[in-house]
């Protein structure tokens, strides 16, 4: 079986990192000195009273399992209220762009970010968010140019990591991932001794390194990177990458053992995590369908709402959990309209291959 790990869209984790740059929350955090240091506790946030800080807090916690729907909804409503009285406030406009990005309204987010950058060209968070959206849309040249605009605005390693993440999407095979991986490690080793790396930054870098390692088939190295943090205290995108690597290693039992309790204890279910648990369940036994049934219920809700923001998960569902060639291709095409990373291209190619080949059912590649 051809096993590849999907390139995880880093939007949610990236968002947590972006909020850190221009938002100073009242918090006390432990910062690890090494990318291999296990972090056993998360930021302890002190009471926040300011509506603006409340929005920042909601957006930061929205990245965690089970909190996206409620947190983004509350953050959106509060942001709009604040913009009624301060319509040109650039930090509020940035929050609005972050919310638009979450719902895959990328064009709207880019317009908002360009408005911010027209008046404040060195707005680091806006530049990083714009680069990330352009990357997801497949506009690699523009994404790289935006990353390079960060030179002199932030620390060198931040603009470098941004550009190397774009580089890894260029070309074919694992060569680009290998080059970016080596350069990013070198960049981190050579950063100034006084450079301070916060937890949000550490998470971002760890996930990029793990994904680059996984693209080369270096699954054990990728997992070593990811295990620098307590998996019960990391964002959804981090857990998705970890689960995909485990599935590529045929370690479905690990996914069930670690990810299952995290999802069970969350306030609500995240589609991407349910999908990985259903895939793990399927890999272990064809008789048990607990997670597949929960995923089916979520997919039914998405279909009723015509929720294009979850098009990739819906396509994967119809490829791997409840095979339906036409629906898989339909949703893979919708996803491709919005997102054009390597993983999105492979998803579309899989759906097209299944649609036009002679097999009755698509075979599930682990970890894709």
DSSP calls for 266-279: SSS--HHHHHHHHH
Question: Residue 60 is encoded by which pair of tokens?
Answer: 């930061």
For the cut 50, the answer to whether the pLDDT of residue 44 exceeds it is no
Mean pLDDT of the 60-72 span? 95
What pLDDT shows up at residue 14? 54
Strand, coil or helix: 229: strand
Give yes or no for a contact between 234 and 266, defined as CB atoms under 8 angstroms apart.
no
For the cut 50, the answer to whether the pLDDT of residue 76 exceeds it is yes
For the cut 50, the answer to whether the pLDDT of residue 35 exceeds it is no
Q: To which H or E segment does residue 44 belong?
A: strand 44-45
Please tell me the distance from the alpha carbon of residue 347 to that of residue 353, in angstroms, as a whole number. 10
Mean pLDDT of the 168-181 span? 81
Nearest residue to 293 via CA among 309, 271, 278: 278
DSSP conformation class of 39: B
Pairing of strands 44-45, 27-28: antiparallel
Q: How confident is the model at residue 201 (pLDDT cuts 50, 70, 90)?
A: confident
For the cut 50, the answer to whether the pLDDT of residue 78 exceeds it is yes
Nearest residue to 280 via CA among 260, 310, 303: 260
Kindly report the average pLDDT of the chain as a whole number.
Answer: 86
Mean pLDDT of the 227-243 span? 97
> How many whole angstroms from its chain centre is CA 113?
19
For the cut 80, the answer to whether the pLDDT of residue 278 exceeds it is yes
Please indicate whether residue 15 or residue 187 has the higher confidence score (pLDDT). Answer: 187
What pLDDT shows up at residue 192? 59
Contacts of 184 (CB under 8 A, 6+ apart): 160, 161, 164, 205, 208, 209, 212
Please indicate whether residue 217 or residue 363 has the higher confidence score (pLDDT). Answer: 217
Phi, psi of 177 (to 5 degrees): -65, -40
In tens, the pLDDT along 83-135 reads 999 999 999 999 999 999 999 999 999 999 999 999 999 999 999 999 999 99
What pLDDT shows up at residue 40? 35
What pLDDT shows up at residue 197? 72
> 33-47, 101-115, 142-156, 187-201: which has the minimum mean pLDDT?
33-47
The HSE-up count of residue 267 (CA atoms within 13 Å, CB side) is: 11
The percent of residues in the chain predicted with pLDDT above 90, rounded, is 74
Q: How confident is the model at residue 24 (pLDDT cuts 50, 70, 90)?
A: very low
Nearest residue to 283 via CA among 262, 310, 254: 254
Please indicate whether residue 2 or residue 176 has the higher confidence score (pLDDT). Answer: 176
Cα Rg of the chain (Å, integer): 20
For the cut 80, the answer to whether the pLDDT of residue 303 exceeds it is yes
What pLDDT shows up at residue 172? 58
What pLDDT shows up at residue 38? 40
Torsion 51-55-58-61 (CA) sign: negative
For the cut 70, the answer to whether the pLDDT of residue 296 exceeds it is yes
For the cut 70, the answer to whether the pLDDT of residue 171 exceeds it is no
DSSP conformation class of 151: B
Mean pLDDT of the 323-352 span? 96
For the cut 70, the answer to whether the pLDDT of residue 155 exceeds it is yes
What pLDDT shows up at residue 281? 96
Q: How confident is the model at residue 175 (pLDDT cuts 50, 70, 90)?
A: confident
CB neighbours of residue 1 within 10 Å: 9
The model's pTM is 0.86
Please indicate whether residue 25 or residue 211 has the higher confidence score (pLDDT). Answer: 211
Which runs of E-coded beta strand occur in 190-299? none
Distances (CA, A) of 293 to 8, 199, 225, 344: 24, 36, 32, 25
Please tell me the distance from the alpha carbon of residue 170 to that of residue 176, in angstroms, as a whole number. 7
Q: To which H or E segment does residue 71 belong?
A: helix 68-85
């Amino acid at each position: 079986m051809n096993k590849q790990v999907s390139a995880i869209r880093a939007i949610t984790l990236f968002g947590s990192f972006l909020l850190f740059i221009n938002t100073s929350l009242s918090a006390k955090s432990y910062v690890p000195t090494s990318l291999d240091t296990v972090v056993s506790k998360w930021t302890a946030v002190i009471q926040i009273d300011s509506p603006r800080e409340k929005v920042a807090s909601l957006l930061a916690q929205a990245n965690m399992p089970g909190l996206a729907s409620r947190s983004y909804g509350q953050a959106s409503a509060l942001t709009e209220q604040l913009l009624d009285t301060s319509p040109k406030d650039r930090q509020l406009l940035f929050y609005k762009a972050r919310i638009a990005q979450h719902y895959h309204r990328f064009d709207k987010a880019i317009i908002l970010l360009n408005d911010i950058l027209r008046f404040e060209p060195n707005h680091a968070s806006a530049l990083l968010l714009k680069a990330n959206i352009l990357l997801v849309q497949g506009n690699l040249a523009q994404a790289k140019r935006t990353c390079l605009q960060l030179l002199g605005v932030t620390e060198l390693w931040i603009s470098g990591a941004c550009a190397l993440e774009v580089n890894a999407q260029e070309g074919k095979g694992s060569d680009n991932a290998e080059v970016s991986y080596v350069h990013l490690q070198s960049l981190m080793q050579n950063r100034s001794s006084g450079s301070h790396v916060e937890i949000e930054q550490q998470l971002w870098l760890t996930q990029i390194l793990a994904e680059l390692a996984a693209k080369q088939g270096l699954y054990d190295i990728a997992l070593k990177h990811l295990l620098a943090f307590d998996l019960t205290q990391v964002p959804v995108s981090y857990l998705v990458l970890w689960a995909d690597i485990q599935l590529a290693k045929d370690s479905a039992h690990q996914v069930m053992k670690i990810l299952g309790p995290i999802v069970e204890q969350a306030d609500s279910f995240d589609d991407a995590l349910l999908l990985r648990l259903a895939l793990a369940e399927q890999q272990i036994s064809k008789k048990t369908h607990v997670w597949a049934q929960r995923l089916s219920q979520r997919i039914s809700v998405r279909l009723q709402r015509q929720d294009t923001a979850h098009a990739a998960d819906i396509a994967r569902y119809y490829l791997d959990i409840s095979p339906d060639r036409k629906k898989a291709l339909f949703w893979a095409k919708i996803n491709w309209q919005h997102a054009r990373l390597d993983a999105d291209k492979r998803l579309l190619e899989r759906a097209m291959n299944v649609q036009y080949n002679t097999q009755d059912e698509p075979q599930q590649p682990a970890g894709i």
